[in-house]
Amino acid sequence: MPLRPARCYTHFSGPPYTRKEYIPGVPQPKITKFEMGNPKGDYQYVVKIVAEEGGQIRHNALESARVMINKRMSVVAGDVNYYLRVKKYPHHVIRENKMMAFAGADRLQDGMRLSFGKPVGLAARVAPGDVIIELFVKKEHLEEAKKSMKVAASKLPLPSRIVVEPVGGRPGQ
């Protein structure tokens, strides 16, 4: 199995840690917009990034993929000729037991005893077959949409595939 980025937080065990009203110091998600482009356009195709394995995707990876797709599509197709939607929201709070790394640190901390950890980020939990991001495009922009989604999929820690489907009407229907 090849090494992938973010392998410390990619796989999970146990229930999600999501009750933000009980967690002090939860960071805000880095992802700012979940929908971009023109939702009212008449699109012929939807291009999707579909997860092949279950796991977690950190909020900064989702934001990185979103920015990459949006930047490439706005240059090639223009802002009114596509509609991008991020389908997964990072609910799960990731904790880290921070260890001190200097001389004499072993006398100041307890190691892994009672290690619960402090919140350091957020992640979206994904099951196999879940749609992570979808992009609605017209026929003339389909090839660029596929390239954009391939680049965006490389920014995600889980193996995924690009699925192209024809669509009728508007994306909200």
What is the pLDDT at residue 104?
Answer: 63
Question: Which residue shows structure tokens 């699925």?
Answer: 163
Domain boundaries, the chain: 30-95+118-166
What is the pLDDT at residue 143?
Answer: 94
Q: Is the dihedral of CA 124, 128, 131, 133 positive or negative?
A: positive
- Give per-residue pLDDT as tens, 34-60: 999 999 989 999 999 999 999 999 999
**What are the φ/ψ torsions at residue 70 (nearest 5 degrees)?**
-60, -40
What is the pLDDT at residue 52?
Answer: 95
What is the pLDDT at residue 114?
Answer: 72
Q: How many other CB atoms are found less than 10 A from the CB of residue 88? A: 20
Q: Which CATH number fits the domain 30-95+118-166, given the four candidates 3.90.1170.10, 1.10.3720.10, 3.40.980.10, 3.30.300.30?
A: 3.90.1170.10
Pure H helices in the chain = 7-10, 59-76, 142-153
What letter does residue 25 receive in the DSSP assignment?
T
- Give per-residue pLDDT as tens, 97-120: 887 777 666 666 677 777 788 888
Q: For residues 162 and 45, what is the distance between their CA atoms, to the nearest angstrom?
A: 13
Q: For the chain (length 173 residues), average pLDDT per consecutive 10?
A: 57 79 88 91 94 93 95 91 94 84 66 80 94 95 95 94 83 58
